[in-house]
Structure 1
Amino acid sequence: MDDAVAFAPFRPRRGRAVALVAAVVALVIFGGIAVLLPGADRGGNWTVGDRIFFAGTGIGIAFLLWRYASIKAVPTRTTLTVRNLLLSRTIAWDQIVDVQFSGGDPWVTIELADTDRVAVMAIQKADAEAGRAEASRLVALVQALSPPAPGPDDLARG
């Protein structure tokens, strides 16, 4: 596999597109509400504070949706940096014990040597075949870049 393809960032496809469109819609709707609310000058009782609240709500929703759209996992030769909705984490390849993409989980989960589990939200079941292909690419990277597990001969010498 070509290095450019192998080390390309993992990103969700459908979820990213939906989140970006929804962010724009939220800004338009809440911004429109903030602008069009009738104030005292137009026979209404909405205040500037109400307008700021609606505009802020739209900005907050758009920010969360943008953050969701920016979910990714970036592989390098030494690490995998996972950026999920709230947290980012950099993991050395030799710390990854298992990659799971089955059951009812909506995205890939990696199990670490310290028994911690990390969701990789960038590889999602909603992406169907593309998601399965990306999960396979992650498994191939883990196998290629993790040191081999110690065999019986290594344990006897240890």
Structure 2
Amino acid sequence: MATLYAPFRPRLARWVSLVLAAIVAVGTPALVLTIEGTYGFLDLAGFAIVGGAIVWFCWRQASVCAVVDEQGIAVRNLLLSRRLDWAEIVSVRFGAGRPWVQLDLADGDTLAVMGVQRADGARSVSEASRLATLVALHTRTSRDD
């Protein structure tokens, strides 16, 4: 039962993002400190700010996940995070061509779950199935309508 409630995290995107963040985090200060030419303070600060923004973006991409518990699911995507009760979720979709799982919500909206990404291959299909199992388990009623 513990593995059923394990967090959903992508593997490939996480590793690529962390490696890229490390390269930019090391490369940006090296560039700022060794660049030749007549660059002023504002130019060098601009390089540092852009490098910092790239590192932040990569860190945010690496931290996407969906954490589940008995009450519901907390989805952390690239820019937004949202907490849902199980009753708010109508279905789980992960059809061909979708880059990540989508939840159909009771209010008619959809929510992407970037914690389950197609780039992870067969693992992503099993993770989508696990999420669908959790939704079915927690949204079952006595009439199961």
2: CA distance between counterparts of 1:143 and 1:79? 12
What does residue 53 of structure 1 align with?
Answer: 46
What does residue 73 of structure 1 align with?
Answer: 66
| Paired residue type of 1:7 | Y
What does residue 6 of structure 1 align with?
Answer: 4
Unaligned stretches of 5+ in structure 1?
Answer: 39-43, 153-158
Shift of 1:75: 0.4
2:131 is the counterpart of 1:125? no
What does residue 29 of structure 1 align with?
Answer: 27
1: CA distance between counterparts of 2:84 and 2:113? 12
Q: How many residues align?
A: 145
Residue identity (%)? 41
1: CA distance between counterparts of 2:17 and 2:29? 18
Contact kept in structure 2, 1:34 and 1:50, CA below 8 Å? no
Q: Kindly indicate which of the two structures has a greater share of residues assigned to helix.
A: 1
What's the RMSD between the two structures over aligned residues? 1.5
What does residue 18 of structure 1 align with?
Answer: 16
| Secondary structure at 1:85 match in 2 | coil
Shift of 1:123: 0.2
Unaligned stretches of 5+ in structure 2?
Answer: none
Structural mapping, 1:128-139, within 5 Å: 128-139=121-132
Shift of 1:66: 0.1
Decide which moves more: 143-152 or 104-113.
Answer: 143-152
| Paired residue type of 1:8 | A
What does residue 88 of structure 1 align with?
Answer: 81
The TM-score normalised by the length of structure 1 is 0.87
CA pair 118-59 structure 1, distance change in 2 beyond 3 A: same
Q: Once superposed, which parts of structure 1, at least 4 consecutive aligned residues long, lie more than 4 Å away? A: 149-152
When Rg is computed on C-alpha atoms for both structures, the one with the higher figure is 1
